[in-house]
Amino acid sequence: MFRFSCLAMFLVLGSEIEKAYTTEVTVKDKDDKLCLYANLMVNFTVTYEVVGKSNNTVEFQLPDVVNASGSSCGTDNSTLKLSFGNGHSWTINFTKEKDMYKADNIVLTYNLSDDSIFKNASSNGTVSVKFTPSIANVVVDTYYSCKSQDTVENDAVKQTLWNVALQAFVTNGSKSENETVCAKDKASTTQMPTTTTAATTVITATTAPPPVPPPSAGTYNLSAAGNGTICLLASMGLQISYNDSLDFQKVNLEPNKTTVTGACGSNNSIAALVLTSEKVAVAFTFIEEGKKFLLHAVNVTVKHINGTSFSAANTNLSLWQATLGSSYMCNKEQTQNITDTLSLYTLKLQVQPFEVKNDKFSTAEECFLDADLSFLVPIAVGMALGFLIVLVLISYLIGRRKSRTGYQSV
C-alpha cells in the first residue's frame, strides 16, 4: 500500500533538530500503483496545560518514520494520513475539480498522554486541530512544490510546512516531473527590473568571495537523559559545501558557536547527533547493522541572511563504519558527496555513537587514508605493470621461435 524512507529518527531532539528531517511517503492503490506522493518537512509548536494550571510550550516535528495505512486514493478525493509516535497523526485531504486539485484541510491530532513530548500534562486525552492550507490551484499531473515556509496557527497550535514536494491524484503510477510552484517561491525568485538612463551607465565591479579557510576541529558530546553519562562522542572539523544556485558555496561549522542536541538510541538501534550554529544545522543519524555501526543519514539546513534556506538530505548512506564497541577515526581530510548539491569535508574525524564507556573513545578503527596499508596501492600497481611486461616478453620470445622454425623448414 505504501513505502517510506529510512527508519526511525527521534520525535523530540530539541528545537533546532526539528528543522532537520524530511518525511517521504508514497501511497499505492489497490493495483499497487503510485497514487499519492509526499516529501515534506512539518514542524509543530503546541502550548498545553501542565500540572499546577500553568502552561508549557513544546516543539516537535513530523518524523521520517510514519504509518500511512490510513491513507486512501480516489478519483476526486484522496487522503494522506500519517500516524506517528504514541497516538499522534497528521492528515491532509485533497479534492480534484476538472484539471485542478487542492488541499481542503489539514488535521493534527496529538496525544497529551505521550510524556516524551507533553511532560507533566494535566490532561491525558487527544486533541485535534484543523488548519486551512494554502495548497490550491495545482494542475493535475504536476506536483506541488514549495520550499518557502508556510506557517498557520489555530488556538494553541502553530504548524510550519516547508520544503514540500507533493502530488495527489498521480496518474500512470509515476510521480510527474512537472511542478506547480507556490506563490511564495515565485515571489522570492522575482527579480526587480533593471533601471537604465540615457545619460549615465553605471558599472558595478564584482569581486569573488574570499576563500573559506579549513574548518577548526571541535568535540561534540551527547549525554543520556537522566544520568548525565556520555552516550555519544564525536570530534571533527566540518565544512559544508552546497549548491544553492549556480555555484557551490562553503560554510564551516564553528565549534565555539555550535550547540549539541540529539538522542541516544535504545538497545543500540539508532542514535542521532545534531550540530547547530547560527548559519547551519547538521543532523547525523547512526544505526546498528549486525555487529557494526554506520552513518546512515545526513540532513543539512543552511540559513541565509535574507531569510531563505538551503536544505538537502540523504537517508541511504553507509559511511563511517566500525565495529560496535569501537570508534571510527579518519584524521586525514576526506570529502563525502551526500547529494548532487551537498558534500561534507571533514578532518580529524572520530565518532562513536554506541557503547561509550567511561566517557572516552574506545579503540579506533582507522579509515583507509589513515591506515599504513595505503602504501600497498603503488606496490600493487607496480607489480601489475611488471607482470604485464613479463607477458609481453614471453609472447615475443614464443613468436620469434616459431618464426625461426618456419625458416629452417623451407
pLDDT at 359 over 50: yes
Give the type of residue at 334.
Q
User: What integer pLDDT is reported at residue 111 of this predicted model?
Assistant: 94
Tell me, what DSSP letter sits at residue 51? T
User: What integer pLDDT is reported at residue 188 of this predicted model?
Assistant: 56
pLDDT digits (tens, 9 = 90+) for 371-389: 755 555 667 777 888 888 8
pLDDT at 317 over 70: yes
- pLDDT, average across residues 217-224: 91
User: What percent of the chain stands above pLDDT 90?
Assistant: 52
- Is CATH 2.40.160.110 the classification given to domain 217-372? yes
pLDDT at 14 over 50: no
| Intrachain domains 2-186 and 217-372 with the same fold | yes
- pLDDT, average across residues 61-72: 91
Rama region for 238: left / alpha / beta (φ>0; ψ in -120 to 50; rest): beta
Q: Which ranges of 124-212 would DSSP assign to H, the alpha helix?
A: 183-189
Residue whose C-alpha cell is 555513537:
353
pLDDT at 114 over 60: yes
SS (H, E, C) 337-392: EEECCEEEEEEEEEEECCCCECCECCCEEECCCCCHHHHHHHHHHHHHHHHHHHHH
Tell me, what DSSP letter sits at residue 68? -
User: What integer pLDDT is reported at residue 308 of this predicted model?
Assistant: 80
pLDDT at 37 over 90: yes
Give the integer Cα–Cα distance in Å for 308 and 73: 34
Contact assessment for residue 102 and residue 68, using Cβ atoms and an 8 Å cutoff: no
Nearest to 317 by CA among 298, 296, 337, 299: 296
User: What integer pLDDT is reported at residue 7 of this predicted model?
Assistant: 36
Contact assessment for residue 306 and residue 341, using Cβ atoms and an 8 Å cutoff: no
pLDDT at 9 over 80: no
DSSP labels for 161-177?
A: EEEEEEEES--TTS--S
User: What integer pLDDT is reported at residue 64 of this predicted model?
Assistant: 83
pLDDT at 3 over 60: no
- Measuring CA to CA, how many Å separate 262 from each of 254, 280, 318? 18, 15, 20
Ranges 187-191, 286-290, 342-346, 383-387: which has the least confidence: 187-191
Sign of CA dihedral 313, 314, 320, 324: positive
Q: Please give the residue that has the higher pLDDT: either 137 or 402.
A: 137
Nearest to 5 by CA among 45, 60, 59, 62: 62
Q: Are strands 248-252 and 334-339 parallel, antiparallel or unpaired?
A: unpaired
Where is mean pLDDT largest: 122-136, 220-234, 303-317, 363-377?
122-136
Q: Please give the residue that has the higher pLDDT: either 155 or 346.
A: 346
The residue extents of the domains of the chain are 2-186, 217-372
User: What integer pLDDT is reported at residue 209 of this predicted model?
Assistant: 54
Reported confidence tier of residue 103, pLDDT bands at 50, 70, 90: very high
pLDDT digits (tens, 9 = 90+) for 239-251: 999 987 656 789 9
User: What integer pLDDT is reported at residue 53 of this predicted model?
Assistant: 79
pTM of the predicted structure, to 2 decimals = 0.47
pLDDT digits (tens, 9 = 90+) for 149-200: 888 888 889 998 988 999 999 988 899 989 999 888 877 554 444 433 333 3
Give me the CATH code for the 2-186 domain, please.
2.40.160.110
Contact assessment for residue 166 and residue 38, using Cβ atoms and an 8 Å cutoff: yes
DSSP labels for 264-301?
A: PPGGGSEEEEEEE-SSEEEEEEEEEETTEEEEEEEEEE
